[in-house]
Amino acid sequence: MSCASCAVNNEKALLKTKGIINANVNFATKNAYVEYDTDILNEDKVRRIIIENGYQVETRSMEHGTHNKKTQIKHGEKIHIEEAHKHGNESMDKTWRAFLWSAVLSLPLLLEMFVKIRTKIFYLNIDLVMWAHLILAAIIVFYFGWRFHKMALMQAKKFRSNMDTLVSLGTATAFFYSLWAIFNNQKGYFETAALIIALILLGKYFEAKSTGQAGEAMRKLMELGVKKARRVVNGAEEETDIENVKIGDILLIKPSEKVPLDGEVIEGGSSIDESMLTGESLPIEKEKGDKVFGGTINQDGVLKIKVTQTGEGTVLAQIIRIVEEAQGSKAPIQKLADKISSIFVPAVIVLAFIAFISWYFTTQNFSIALINAIAVLIIACPCALGLATPTAIMAGTGRGAKSGILFKTGDSFERAKNITMVVFDKTGTLTIGKPQVKKIIPFASAASGQESYKEDKILKIAASLARYSEHPLSKAVIEYASSKNISLAEFKNIKETRGKGISGVCAEHNVPILLGNKKLMQGNNLDISSTDEILSSGELQAGTPLFVAHGQEIIGAIIIADEIRNEAPQMIKELKQLKLKTAMITGDHQATAQAVAGELEINEILAEVLPDEKTSEIKKLQNKGERVVFVGDGINDAPSLVQADLGIAMGSATDIAREAGQIILTQNNLEKVIEAIKLSKLTFKTIKQNLFWAFFYNIIAIPLAMAGLLNPIIAAGAMAFSSVSVVLNSLRIYKK
């Protein structure tokens, strides 16, 4: 595709086809994402739509390192659209060679502008030098520039136009007018036609080269994959292609080798460089039972791993898919550029005609009128409009992926433009997410006034019930009981109440037991006066209380605390420097929440919020006019991540495909929240700059050309480098 109009034309052709639900064609990446109804269409029919539209669908082997398959056109997958003469680096090299030959052959024509050399030898009343000019210009315009004419003819057959139409019209008009002129003993413009082609080819080369640099991060991700693996079968090693490895196979990884696929360490220990996944430069120590991921680098030990994921299931493949989809998507701001691109070329042709008529009737000079009209055709640049958004998105997503920040869609950047508040889930986000028992507080018996249960007894009752729950607080109780070698009792009639706690009946004594917060006790009609004492005392500063009820009496409280992340205070400080409000949302009691928020100096506290109430709390903030970023740590936060104006999901690499946020952090590091917000704002700012300069260039340049203030050769040079300047501006994202 040669310009934004090509992308718009392909998109329209796809979307007007019955059975196609959604289509998104990206000019910068030359990709289309097509979603269609398989009851109406199949892959071949979708391909045929594009081919009949004048383009080719490239079928190529896609290697993500962990898999090797043919490109398919199915839900969520991609097809690759390119002109017949473009194939990756070969196309770029071909364009460079075409420019070099065009430039060399243009030199004699350029010389004609300064020195008139003639042989005085004539054929058909034309000097041989002019015949040479004619032949050289024909070679440049119709051989090296054939790509432009070919695509223009394809577009004309369908009564459409694109950038190639402008180039073809301008150069062909200049050539054929010059042909007429030399046979009528008038001044020709062969050098104009030839130099326009040469300069535009040079611009196309630099555009392809710089756009390729914007996608460098994507290529580096794809190169991380491993093609071979050392498999252990019956105690013997064998080298095999990665495609032959199956889940459950045992692989041997030696020092300095890449981990071929995701797996679990079953033997050995080593340091693993996971920077390609997380952006964290420090190696991670791995030992038996730890998970390792394909594409990471084993540094100093020998490992045996059991493969747990292959192909599309690996973390690397998922990251590549997310980055690909983000780079192929469009930011909402791109819609304006697409609308303008759809009418841009026809409008320029009309303006060129107006310029010709105006100049001809004003000067009565056909030559001057024609040259100014050609300048209008050549100076216009729809390419810059088409590249403005996708190149910035490519650079932003590429830089993010390198740092362990995955942007799922192009609108992630636009969502960050007017944010006012950042809301954090507490457990697992602001805190490490591994609660520990800090204290056990026995309560006096209501009947005797004495302590009726010792700490170990309370712990045994609580842990016996807690083992039936997967909640982090329950796990903390179980781990603490295990460290104390507490034997556990059997329970029946287990019931877990979301956001409150768990209940059951002791099988041995047939006594109902409760383990949970004040709401659980209150809901079971227990005397909660003892809980109020704890909740209003200084004991609560230590952490979150879990109350234990035996029968109809609350017998004690287990205080559980979660350590605040080391980077959290500095992160909150930096958010305030960015003039963003901060809030914390938690199911903890108000006093516990205040203790954490006070230490971090968070502006607003939303405490005692049940998991299914988080989303409504986000809505309330939005209704007050806040533009909310929600930062959560897992699947439980999915509804809130979706509801927020911008959702940032913190989680381990294994969770990346399941998160609902627009941005995924592949490591639990709050510093990445700041980086993600800053990168989002920088990328969107760059998109706006690109669109401004693309519009500004055309708004200023076209009137100048119509006014006769631009020579067509200068116009060609300006047009050729306008799109390059947009790409170079996008590449600055990497450096900031």
> What 3-state DSSP class applies to 149?
helix
- Domain 224-317 part of CATH 2.70.150.10: yes
Mark whether 164 is an active-site residue: no
Question: Taking 80 as the threshold, does the pLDDT of residue 461 lie above it?
Answer: yes
The rounded mean pLDDT for the chain is 83
Question: Taking 90 as the threshold, does the pLDDT of residue 512 lie above it?
Answer: yes
Least confident of 64-78, 137-151, 447-461, 653-667: 64-78
Could you list the beta-strand ranges (E) of 552-699. 553-561, 581-585, 604-606, 628-632, 646-650, 663-665
pLDDT confidence of residue 214: 62
Between CA 294 and CA 596 the distance in angstroms is 38
At what angle are helices 163-183 and 334-363 packed, to 10 degrees?
A: 20
Q: Locate all alpha helices (DSSP H) within 652-711, ordered by sequence.
A: 671-706
pLDDT confidence of residue 471: 84
Over residues 354-363, the mean pLDDT reads 94
Q: Grade residue 111 by pLDDT with cuts at 50, 70 and 90.
A: confident
**Tokens 């050399």, residue?**
117
Q: Write the class of the CATH domain 4-78.
A: alpha beta
Between CA 273 and CA 281 the distance in angstroms is 7
Q: Between these two residues, 656 and 411, which has the higher pLDDT value?
A: 411
Find the catalytic residue in 249, 273, 425, 633.
425
395-431+564-683: CATH superfamily: HAD superfamily/HAD-like (3.40.50.1000)
Q: Between these two residues, 423 and 200, which has the higher pLDDT value?
A: 423
Report the Cα–Cα distance between both ends of the chain, in Å, rounded. Answer: 30
Domain residue extents for the chain: 4-78, 88-217+324-392+684-735, 224-317, 395-431+564-683, 436-561
Judged by phi (left if over 0) then psi (alpha if -120 to 50, else beta), residue 3 lies in beta
Closest CA to 490 of 479, 505, 473: 505
Question: Taking 70 as the threshold, does the pLDDT of residue 84 lie above it?
Answer: no
> What 3-state DSSP class applies to 663?
strand
Question: Given this chain, do its domains 395-431+564-683 and 436-561 carry the same CATH topology?
Answer: no
Using CA atoms of 51, 56, 60, 65 in order, give the dihedral in degrees to the nearest 10.
-100
Question: Taking 70 as the threshold, does the pLDDT of residue 535 lie above it?
Answer: no
Between CA 557 and CA 172 the distance in angstroms is 88
Least confident of 131-140, 397-406, 615-624: 397-406
Q: Which fold has domain 436-561?
A: Calcium-transporting ATPase, cytoplasmic domain N (3.40.1110)
pLDDT confidence of residue 100: 93
Between CA 576 and CA 583 the distance in angstroms is 11
pLDDT confidence of residue 429: 84
Q: Strand 491-497 relative to strand 501-506: parallel, antiparallel, unpaired?
A: antiparallel
Give the H/E segment covering residue 539.
Answer: none
Beta bridge partners of 437: 560
Spatial contact of 166 and 378, defined as CB atoms under 8 Å apart = yes
Beta bridge partners of 375: none
Between CA 606 and CA 425 the distance in angstroms is 10
pLDDT confidence of residue 86: 42
Distance of CA 151 to the CA centre of its chain: 31
